[in-house]
Amino acid sequence: MSAQELPLANNQRRGRPREFDRTNALECAMRQFWQHGYETLSMADLTTCLGINPPSLYAAFGSKQAFFLEAIDHYLATRGAYVYAVPSDQSSPRAMLAQLLQRAAEAFSDAAYPAGCFVLSSIATTYDSHEIEQAIVDRCQQRMSKINELVELGVQTGELPATTNADELAQFFICVLQGMSLQARLGASTNQLQAIVANALQLWPQTMRLR
Amino acid sequence: MSAQELPLANNQRRGRPREFDRTNALECAMRQFWQHGYETLSMADLTTCLGINPPSLYAAFGSKQAFFLEAIDHYLATRGAYVYAVPSDQSSPRAMLAQLLQRAAEAFSDAAYPAGCFVLSSIATTYDSHEIEQAIVDRCQQRMSKINELVELGVQTGELPATTNADELAQFFICVLQGMSLQARLGASTNQLQAIVANALQLWPQTMRLR
């Protein structure tokens, strides 16, 4: 589709009063916070980027904190959902983990977005309140707990030996996923991240034979 | 040794004029930047923490950028050296990699310091200049290249099969190390990080038999 054929965004639609588009604003704020970090980005930067005045911004989103958390949740509902939503189909737990990690390899290195995972990148920075830090950690742990569930399911279904330390193996895969986000920010390509995934998955062999 | 017996720091020594102690200042700045990040910490925060006035701080260290990079290099020469300096003894390449990762597990979760690796934590934040960002990335890659050397040495000495993709295996271990830094910032204990190391090292078995 050429640029000319792109549908107009809500706030550009002819015959409609030009009004503040929350979703567009959240998408823009998500990309800005993701790229620059919570502390670095000022509300002044955001109003410039969104092309609206500070009173409109505060009226629509409240504080910088509230806007940031809404941007995080917008990420988790859109781009992040693509990575972290594990299909509840008939795949094996290992296949579902492989899909999650491979999607992360692809998404974290996609040039159409800032590198890495927005939530994981947000952990390394500090915050002006304990509340926001806790909200980030909670959201991170909620997504990472999917990996715990998949490894536990692997043990339950016999794909992994009953003697597997499921907590430790899950923590290992979570560590790899988190390292991948940092690697992507350092410029790793999709192929390089996929090779990391392939190596990590050797700890859960596809044709594991149980003794 | 009790607190009373602790030797006085240079700037507290009786009979000596009280003067600005660069090393103490760097140690303090290192901990502050490490904990709070480059962007979050202001020069005003630093002068308060160091108990000196801004002109003295600028006279001693130049810009905030220069001070930050000196704090990074102070870390790499002290705490970071403990983690990243691989012994050039007669150990096997695998034993040296294991030591590097185990020291990281211990150091990243040591409550006496901010969590994780100062250099790795500094990657996720953005900077007011490309110059400083590049300096961080260079220092990071310099340390990580030790892991490449160890894996290559493993292949050369026959500890790893000649068919090993050394680049990919090294990148995997680097990813795990970087994930460990983030895990530590999320509160992982030494034991939890050691379990991650033990899992990762399974990709380089101690008693690997070559076909």
Residue A18, pLDDT > 80, answer: no
**Are A53 and A151 in a shared domain?**
no
**Nearest CA-CA partner of A115 in A182, A24, A45, A49:** A182
Q: Is residue A12 part of a domain?
A: no
| A172 and chain B in contact, CB less than 8 A | yes
User: Which residues are within 8 A (CB) of A210 and not within 5 positions of it... i.e. 6 or more apart?
Assistant: A158, A161, A162
**Are B50 and B97 in a shared domain?**
no
Do B171 and A196 make contact, defined as CB atoms within 8 angstroms?
A: yes
Q: Is residue B82 part of a domain?
A: no
Q: What residues in A contact B182, CB-CB < 8 Å?
A: 120, 123-124, 175, 178-179, 181-182
**What would the pLDDT profile of B81-128 be if each residue is shown by its tens digit?**
988 887 766 689 999 999 999 999 999 999 999 999 999 988 866 666
Distance from CA of A125 to the nearest CA of B (A): 6
Give the total number of structural domains in chain B: 2
Q: Tell me the CATH number at A192.
A: 1.10.357.10
Residue B16, pLDDT > 50, answer: no
**Are B142 and B171 in a shared domain?**
yes
Over residues B59-68, mean pLDDT: 90
Place of tokens 């050296």: B81
How far, in Å, CA of B19 to CA of B186, rounded? 39
Run of H or E including B83: helix B79-84
**Are A68 and A144 in a shared domain?**
no
**Are A120 and A196 in a shared domain?**
yes
Question: Which residue in chain B is spatially nearest to A119 when comparing CA positions?
Answer: B124
Q: Tell me the CATH number at A66.
A: 1.10.10.60
Q: What residues in B contact A123, CB-CB < 8 Å?
A: 124, 182, 185-186
**Are B126 and B97 in a shared domain?**
yes
Q: Is residue B183 part of a domain?
A: yes
What value does the mean pLDDT of chain A take?
A: 85
Do A196 and B169 make contact, defined as CB atoms within 8 angstroms?
A: no
* pLDDT confidence tier of residue A210, bands split at 50, 70 and 90: very low
Q: Is residue B35 part of a domain?
A: yes
Greatest mean pLDDT among A68-72, A205-209, B9-13 lies in: A68-72
Question: Which residue in chain B is spatially nearest to A170 when comparing CA positions?
Answer: B196
How far, in Å, CA of A112 to CA of B4, rounded? 59
For B97, phi then psi, to 5°, come to -65, -45
Of B53, B75, B97, which residue sits at a domain end?
B75
Q: Is residue B163 part of a domain?
A: yes
**What would the pLDDT profile of B32-47 be if each residue is shown by its tens digit?**
999 888 888 888 888 9
**Are A103 and A56 in a shared domain?**
no
Distance from CA of B54 to the nearest CA of A (A): 22
**Are A70 and A93 in a shared domain?**
no
**What would the pLDDT profile of B143-185 be if each residue is shown by its tens digit?**
999 999 999 999 999 999 999 999 999 999 999 999 999 999 9
Do B200 and A172 make contact, defined as CB atoms within 8 angstroms?
A: yes
Q: Is residue A15 part of a domain?
A: no
A46 is in which domain, residue-wise?
Answer: 20-75
Helices and strands in chain A, H and E counts? 10, 0
The contacts found for B130-133 with CB under 8 angstroms, 24 or more apart, are B131/B65, B132/B38, B132/B65, B132/B68, B132/B69
Residue A4, pLDDT > 50, answer: no
Pick the residue with more confidence: A80 or A42?
A80
HEC profile for A155-199?
HHCCCCCCCCCHHHHHHHHHHHHHHHHHHHHCCCCHHHHHHHHHH
Q: Which amino acid appears at position A202 of this protein?
A: Q
**What would the pLDDT profile of A116-162 be if each residue is shown by its tens digit?**
999 998 886 666 678 888 999 999 999 999 999 999 999 999 999 99
**Are B195 and B105 in a shared domain?**
yes
**Are A114 and A44 in a shared domain?**
no
| B133 and chain A in contact, CB less than 8 A | no
| A36 and chain B in contact, CB less than 8 A | yes
